[in-house]
Amino acid sequence: MNKLLMKPHIAIGIAIFCSILWGSAFPVLKISYSELQMAPDDVIAKMVFAGIRFLLAGIMVLVWLAFMDAKRIKVTKRQLLVLVLLGVIQTALQYYFFYNGLAIVSGMKGSILSSSGVFFTVLLAHFYYKNDRMNWRKWIGITAGFIGIVLANWGESFQLTFQWTGEGYMIMAGVTSAIATIMAKELAIGIHPFAITGWQLSLGAIVLLVIGFPQLQADAMQFTPLGTGLLLYSAFLSAAAFALWYSLLKYHPASKITMYKFIVPVSGVLLSTIFIPGEQLNVMIIGAIVMVALGIVVVNYRKTPKQN
């Protein structure tokens, strides 16, 4: 499998597949909220739902790793501390903002706003890495991306709308994602990519469940066959996308792989218009997709050296 992951065309295909999976999360979660009859302002129910999803996803990855190479599951005490920290930030904190923010905003807008994590990662890298400073190309890309985010918040009536618990939470999900990306690259050295994924998802999920379950009301979620199926699919997409993405980052420069994240908002918007009743494309959303996608590509673009 390692040899396959190292092939450029295979890596591009996997990166695109991961991005489409992440994009599909937006309509799946919006439909799940409705199907499970969760109230838009029920923060605890969403924490528990996220906890169940990510615990299932983490177990899926760890079981798969056990079949591949059981020795890779074991981690040292120091590595466990790193994974707990990653789990709290990347899973518990990020998805607390993500799940509750997505309950307020549309699936289309959520898929665009969550892409802010790519641009925050570039900004953080400027302050953290001496060899990854900002330049004119990155500034242009970030500017284009944030223009797209502003356009996403501009409705058909040409009025800027912003709620801290909606749009604000989605942007905070992007900030925590950026922090976790830097942490994972720096701290998770020597840990198998699947082990990073499985443990941080499981540990972060446990935090969400420990906080949420004692406060969960009896009728907060009404599970149906469709709701259960959507929960299992969302767990699978997290397990597959995170595990494959971390594996790609092990064998390829982050800039080459991250470029394909422009597909996340595009697929998220398109799938939301197809599957979520009442969500339709408009001029502002189309403009936002174009600017965010362009920004991600420009930020991550690298010239290929000429062969002599």
pLDDT, tens only, 39-87: 888 989 999 999 999 999 999 999 988 988 888 888 888 888 888 988 9
- Work out how many domains the chain is built from and give that number: 1
Asked, for residue 52, whether it belongs to a domain, the answer is yes
Angle, alpha carbons 115-120-125 (nearest 5°): 135
Asked whether the beta carbons of 188 and 78 are under 8 A apart, the reply is no
Does residue 168 register a pLDDT over 50? yes
Asked, for residue 248, whether it belongs to a domain, the answer is yes
Asked, for residue 306, whether it belongs to a domain, the answer is no
| Sign of the Cα pseudo-torsion (111, 112, 115, 116, in order) | negative
The pTM of this model reads 0.83
pLDDT, tens only, 236-281: 998 888 888 878 877 776 666 777 888 888 888 889 888 988 888 8
Asked, for residue 308, whether it belongs to a domain, the answer is no
Asked, for residue 307, whether it belongs to a domain, the answer is no
Q: 179: domain range?
A: 2-300
One-character DSSP codes across 87-121: IIIIIIIHHHHHHHHHTTS-HHHHHHHTTHHHHHH
Q: What is the pLDDT of residue 307?
A: 45
Asked, for residue 87, whether it belongs to a domain, the answer is yes
Asked, for residue 305, whether it belongs to a domain, the answer is no
Asked, for residue 36, whether it belongs to a domain, the answer is yes
